[in-house]
Amino acid sequence: MKEKIEHLRAELNRHNHNYYSLNSPEISDKEFDMMMKELEELEKQYPEFDDPLSPTHRVGSDLTKGFEHVVHARPMMSLSNTYSIEEVDEWFDRIRKAIDSKDFSITGEMKFDGTSISITYRNGRMVRAVTRGDGTQGDDVTANVKTIRSIPLQLLPGDWPEEFEIRGEILMPWEVFEKLNAERAYNEEPLFANPRNAAAGTLKTQDPREVARRHLDARFYYLLADNLPSDSHYENMAIAEQWGFKVSKAMARLHSLEDVDNYISYWDEHRKELPVPTDGLVFKVDSLRQQLNLGYTAKSPRWAVAFKFNPETACTPLRFVSFETGRMGIVTPVANLEPVQLSGTIVKRASLHNDDIMQELDIHEGDSLYVEKAGEIIPQITGVDKSLRPADAKKVVFVKNCPVCGTPLTRIFGEAAWCCPNKYGCRPQITGRIEHFCARRMMNIDGIGEETAELLYSTGLVSTIGQIYDLTEEKLIGVGRIGEKTAKRIMNGIEDSKQVPFDRVLYALSIPNVGETTAKRLARAVKDIDTLLGMDLEQLSMIPDIGPIIAKNIYDFLREPVNAGNIERLREAGVTLSVPEESLTPSGNALEGKTVVISGTFSHHSRDEYKDIIMSQGGKNAGSISKKTSFVLAGENMGPAKLQKCEQLGIPIISEDEFLKMIGQ
């Protein structure tokens, strides 16, 4: 039976490689699943033949309780960057002079935009996967990497070294990234700025099952061992591909400066056709012997250089500008464009933000607009090609009335925004508040998203958030596509929402300028809803970080009859409207008087958990860096803009481990 089990594992590994790495499956998904099921049954019957690298263990199971730090056997150095063909040509000339021979070639390859990984194999089996970290040591993420189906756990038959290290990039394909961000947007979670951040954050997720669900991919680009198959880097990677590793088809051997320049020109145009994100090219001297002779500087190898692409920009015709009213009544102009591919996605719309920006861009009907992503997922309009403007084009003018309810707009004092003042009679504001109230970070009522909120409003079932607590299964079943299961799920969510903490209830109410952090501070300061209702403007203004403008927003909101009625209905339904006594006592004062900015992704706690920890230790959370910032709590992939701001202002940067020691954990 052992032979049967090993045969099934080998076949599943082969089919897995065909499907995920070669994109040429030999069997149907059903046949693959049946084979997997057969192996699972045999492994249950014969546990003595279990193997931790069996294909059945791909999805992960137990939570990883943190990551062990591992010292790299060979440091993972960074590459020196170039930003023009001329700089690459200068590097090529330096190599030619240093080698003092015409007998050399260069390997050109894609610079994939993900998170670096180093994986060690012994006797053809994965032993350990470690992140780049600081180049000297990284985090052991083996449990998570095992879930990535394009990475072999057991190599295909071949003459591989007894032990070797292979380096590559963990990637999130564009298609997966779009779906993940759409899901996060629906749940009102912060969007990932780009696939690189998403891949890095996913790889540091504590639950391997969540990593498996996000369908990460990988590309490998460097093989290291004491006894490699060839002196040629290019040939080594071709051999590694035969062992089961996913190697970029864009890798090419280049023999002249002209080859290098042509390679840059080609991929600068065609990279947008790739299914995974890239941000440049890498050029390496192909001969390992010549690499060894060229050596290293203090920071990077002399035998390799990275060429960074400029941000992707496209020029596309404007179809029309639409004006859209949001939950808080703010009207946003949106450029609706002729579809254009940019950074792996099709862009059809881009926000123009407000009237001032629209006027500054000087947009006319029929204009051709420059759109740029610059590494971020949200497209930006950066300019207009006025040479393509039609002679009789009319300037686009901001609307004077709400595009939905027709109410004359008012300008928000001190801001660039125009707002519809018809808060309790304008449909998108009403349905927006319902959707916001039910979202994951607020009351977390599963089943009521944008579409269902619209449906409940249009059928007259819910026009205020208080009426959510008047819903029953009988009322819900048969409304639109709501069936018995969905109705039960919604009602369970409504019941569970009664246990949501008071600060999240305040956040869910849609009080102007009261976001998640302000709601937490407000809840801790007032302790219960009745105290808040009884406070005057002066008392509200004295709450730390509230100030006169937010205080007036809170005061006016609570005295609006619709909102007062909602609060009373929440009280009747049993929603939590006070802070538990035990949670009012701070767990410490290590951060008393300190203002902390959080940036990056973390291993031990989520960003939200760190926000709570900072507040429980007497500190204050801030969203942006200023002179008042005490320090930045920095995880992996801290944003370069924040890093630069810290350097300019001399703000300390504290790592996750240093922070936990600071508060005594």
pLDDT tens across 228-246, in order? 999 999 999 999 999 999 9
Does this chain's domain 70-308 share its CATH topology with 313-392? Answer: no
Q: Report residue 343's pLDDT band, with 50, 70 and 90 as the boundaries.
A: low
Mean pLDDT of 239-256: 95
| Pairwise CA distance, residues 419 & 402, whole Å | 8
Choose the catalytic residue: 44, 111, 284, 661. Answer: 111
With contact defined as beta carbons under 8 Å apart, do 192 and 181 qualify?
A: yes
Q: Tell which wins on pLDDT, 641 or 352.
A: 352
- 450-489 pLDDT, tens digit per residue, is 899 999 999 999 999 999 999 999 999 988 888 898 899 9
Dihedral angle of Cα 481, 485, 489, 495, to the nearest 10 degrees: 110
Q: Tell which wins on pLDDT, 56 or 71.
A: 71
Based on the residue annotation, tell me whether 642 is a catalytic residue of this protein: no
Please state which CATH number belongs to domain 427-582.
Answer: 1.10.150.20
Domain boundary assignment for the chain = 2-57, 70-308, 313-392, 427-582, 586-662
- For residue 60, pLDDT over 60 is answered with no
| Pairwise CA distance, residues 382 & 360, whole Å | 11
- For residue 505, pLDDT over 60 is answered with yes
Q: Tell which wins on pLDDT, 466 or 139.
A: 466
Tell me, yes or no, if the pTM score tops 0.75. no
Nearest C-alpha neighbor of 472 from the set 491, 499, 448: 491
DSSP H helices, 467-512, are 473-476, 484-496, 502-508
Q: Which CATH number fits domain 313-392: 2.30.42.10, 3.40.30.10, 2.40.50.140, 3.40.50.1860?
A: 2.40.50.140
- Report the chain's mean pLDDT, rounded to a whole number: 87
- For residue 188, pLDDT over 60 is answered with no
Residue 62: predicted pLDDT: 36
Mean pLDDT of 643-658: 84
With contact defined as beta carbons under 8 Å apart, do 219 and 196 qualify?
A: no
Residue 65: predicted pLDDT: 45
On the 0-12 / 13-18 / 19+ scale of CB atoms within 10 A, 36 is middle
Q: Report residue 283's pLDDT band, with 50, 70 and 90 as the boundaries.
A: very high
Domain 586-662 architecture = 3-Layer(aba) Sandwich (3.40)
Under CATH, domain 2-57 is a member of which superfamily? Helix hairpin bin (1.10.287.610)
Domain 70-308 architecture = 2-Layer Sandwich (3.30)
- 581-630 pLDDT, tens digit per residue, is 766 556 677 888 888 988 877 777 777 778 878 887 888 888 778 888 99
Mapped onto helix, strand or coil, the DSSP state of residue 146 is: coil
Residue 64: predicted pLDDT: 42
- For residue 433, pLDDT over 80 is answered with yes
DSSP letters for 424-456: TT-HHHHHHHHHHHHSTTTT--TT-SHHHHHHH
- 598-612 pLDDT, tens digit per residue, is 887 777 777 777 887
Q: Tell which wins on pLDDT, 410 or 354.
A: 410
With contact defined as beta carbons under 8 Å apart, do 83 and 304 qualify?
A: no
HSE-up (13 A, CA, CB side) for residue 326: 15
Mean pLDDT of 344-353: 83
Nearest C-alpha neighbor of 132 from the set 27, 203, 230: 203
